[in-house]
Every structure is written in structure tokens, then in C-alpha cells.
Amino acid sequence: MDRAVLQVGGLSLALSPSKWNVVCHFLDGVFFSAALISFSAEMVIPTMIAELSDSALMLGLVPLITQICWVLPQTFYAKKIEGLAYKKPAVLLCAFLGRAGWMVFLVSLYVHWGAAFTLPVFFVVMVSNGLGSGLVMPVWADWYAKTVPENMWARLLGMRAAAPAVLGVGLGKLIQWIMDVRPAPQRYQILLILTIVFYVLSFLSVMLVKEERHEGLPTQDGKTWAGYFRGLGLILARQRDFRMFLIAAVLLTVPTAVMATFLTKYGLTSSGAGSGVAGTFTMFYFAAMAIGSLAGGLISDRKGVLVPFRVFPLFVAGGCVLSALSPNWTVVSAAWALLGFAWGMRVVAFLPAVFSFAEPHRRPSYSSVLFTALGGTAAVLPPLVGMVKDADVLDFPHIFLLCGATALGGWVLLLRIPSPEAASS
């Protein structure tokens, strides 16, 4: 492949294909994460839904719809994409399908604002976005592994997450100001426009990544669906360590899904703080995520892919317990900081860990098995928790304590899994 030329002011910098791809992937991560921050599922969406409905179940429908739609296509699409010589066209198509719905929702906010109209449109958009995101996940994971040097996998993921997380501190301040001074739906119109701009920049960055043609890779062509699914089952039946890793990951998804769905609502309604405090939560969360992302990337690449998993569950448990102690917005902000650090490490550590268990041509299948299990957990749990809360069976502090205990259970299980690097040496 030819060396790429990057124009910076009056300078022309010749970059090798691998370095060029690192730059493009980094920019994609920055813009993509900035879009997620601008209309975040943890802060902005719960605040918007809380303005339209008092039901905790309604909040729980957000992860239910997005995760089910995210899970359903992955296993089926993984069969089609294994062995493709080029994967970037599929990445671009699926990325577009997963983002186009936000433009529809933006138009709807100019048409009418009200629970009877806005919430149904929003949930339809969640279906569209979830399906697109589900399609892109297995192909993007394999494409990332192909176009980034192996010794940079985790560190680049950490840099992709850390830079926008730092940006998230400033964006959090901007979100807080917009939420305070602009009424609904204008505040959400502004945030959606910002989100769409960042998604467009992310899409352009993906287009610039250079991908070599890979010939002769084993494919699933000709294999029946029964044989394909039997092969997925054999992954879990024969790979004891991967099976234990998946179970531990599911246990850690329990607090992740519950806290992401309900912690902002808890901090808003229990402490009586205004909607602008969601911006404060955003700043604490993403500032800590930046540190966790960088730490997780360095630790994963230098110490081993499972080492971050022996650290971040303790921060998840700490955030859950701290949240249960008090609904005061300062305590909730500190809890968001602990969770942000943990989730920063988690984001950058997951894919390198999955890659270490799989043969290169089986990465889409391994990632689809893992993320199907995690997505199913994240889909089902929040609505159930919402129903439990609405029925006054448990209050949020007790729910958060149970989440902390579940995180510790996943941590104990991870301690029993040997390092894939040691097993392969």
C-alpha cells in the first residue's frame, strides 16, 4: 500500500498505512463518542423521557428496544461477513442505517412535542438505530482488527474513548447550559443537531481508513444455518475459559445496564435537582471515563488483556454502593465518576479480550456470541427493574446494592480465568 499524505497547515506528512489508519480510527472514535455524549443514553435521554412520563418502566423500554434490535442481527450477519475480502463497504452501510433515524427524530421534534407523539416516534427510531448498530458490530470489530496493528488494539481504543471523554467535560457544561436556558423541545433539537454533525464527521473518518484485500480466508459459504449455529454452540462447549469469561461479562452487564438506565433519574427525582444537573453528571462521568480508557488501554496491551477485568469491577461495585447511600446530587456525581472510570476500562478491554480467545477468521462469530449474550441481558433487565420499582417491591438504593453484589460476583469469576496470552505460549 502507498504511503498516505496528511496535510497539516502548510506541512505535508507522509504516513505509513498503519499510522494513517490509526489517525483515521482515532478521529472516528472521537466524533462517534462525541455524538453519543451529545444525546447520551445515560443523561439526556432519561431526562427527556422523565419530562414526558413518570414511569420507570418507560425508561426501561429504551435499553429493551435498543438491545434486542442490537442483538438480533449480529449472529446472522456474522455468518455472511466471515471471510469477506473487504469489510469497509459493509461497515459504512450499517453505520448509515444505525444513524439515519436521528434525522427523522429531529424532524419530529419540529412537528410536535408531547408524550402521545414524541415517545412513539422516539421508540421507532430506537428500533432503526438498534438494528443498524447490531449489523455493524461484528463487521466493525473484525475490520478494526484488520486495519489496526495488533500491539495498538487496546491503546487505540483507549485513546478513542479518552479524547472524547475529555471533550465530554466541556460538552457536559454545554449540555447543562442548554438544558437550563432552553425549554423543551428546543433543548433537544439543539442537542440532536450537534449529535448529527458529529456522526457525519465520524462517517467521513471511516471512509478514509485504508483496507488491504484479504484473500483465501475461510468463510461460512455453503454451510447450513443448522451447522453454523452448531458451530457457535461448540465455541461455548469447547472453550471453557471463553465460557467463563462470557458468564462473568453477563454478570458485569447487570449493574452496567441498571445504573446506566436509572441512576440519572434517581439523582434528578430523589434530590429535587433541576434538569441541568444532568450536565454535571455528564462532566463527572466522562472525565473519569477518560482516565479509565487510557489506563485500560495501556494495561491491556502491556500487562495482559484480562488484567483490566480484574480491576474495573471493583469500581462498578463502589459506584453502586455509593449511589445507594444517598440521592444527593454530589454523591450521585461521585458515583457516576466511579462508574465512568470502570466503563472506560471496560470499553477498551472487551474487544482485545475477545480477539485473544478467537482465531482471526472466527472473530465475527466470537464477538456475536458474546455481544448477543450481553445485549440480551441489557435488554431484558431494565424493564424488569422498572416494573419492580413501579410496583414498590424494591426502591432504588436496594436495587443498586444488589447491582454492586452482582459486580463482585463477576469479579470473583474473572479471577479464576487464566490469561489467554499464557495459555497460548
pLDDT tens profile 394-422: 988 999 999 999 999 999 999 999 877 65
**pLDDT at residue 186, rounded to an integer:** 95
Domain ranges within the chain, ordered by starting residue = 4-212+224-424
**pLDDT at residue 11, rounded to an integer:** 41
Q: Is the pTM of this model over 0.85?
A: no
**pLDDT at residue 419, rounded to an integer:** 78
**pLDDT at residue 239, rounded to an integer:** 87
Cell numbers given for 420: 489467554
Give the type of residue at 123: F
* Contact between residue 200 and residue 92 where contact means Cβ atoms under 8 Å apart: no
Helix (H, G, I), strand (E, B) or coil at 4: strand
* Contact between residue 281 and residue 336 where contact means Cβ atoms under 8 Å apart: yes
CA dihedral 115, 116, 119, 123 (to 10 degrees): 170
Q: Within 10 Å of residue 280's Cβ, how many Cβ atoms? A: 21
Measure the CA–CA gap between 303 and 60, rounded to whole angstroms.
Answer: 37
Residues paired with 5 in a beta bridge? 14
Residue 185, preceding peptide bond in cis (omega within 30° of 0): yes
Residue 134 Cα distances to 130, 131, 252, 424, angstroms: 6, 5, 20, 31
Cell numbers given for 302: 502491556
**pLDDT at residue 199, rounded to an integer:** 95
Residues in the chain: 425
Per-residue pLDDT 10s for the chain (425 aa) are 445 544 544 444 445 668 899 999 999 988 998 898 889 877 789 889 988 988 877 888 887 888 788 888 887 887 777 767 788 998 999 889 888 999 999 999 999 999 999 999 999 999 999 898 888 888 888 889 889 988 888 888 888 877 766 776 778 778 888 988 999 999 999 999 999 999 999 999 999 999 887 665 566 655 777 887 888 888 888 889 999 999 999 999 999 889 988 887 787 765 555 556 666 777 788 788 888 988 888 888 888 889 999 999 999 999 999 999 887 878 888 999 999 999 889 888 888 888 888 877 778 888 888 888 888 888 888 889 988 888 889 988 999 999 999 999 999 999 999 877 655 55
CA atoms in the 13 A half-sphere facing the CB of 136:
20
**pLDDT at residue 37, rounded to an integer:** 83
**pLDDT at residue 368, rounded to an integer:** 82
**Residue carrying the nine cell digits 490469561:** 419
**Residue carrying the nine cell digits 434530590:** 271
**pLDDT at residue 12, rounded to an integer:** 44
Tell me which CATH homologous superfamily contains domain 4-212+224-424: MFS general substrate transporter like domains (1.20.1250.20)
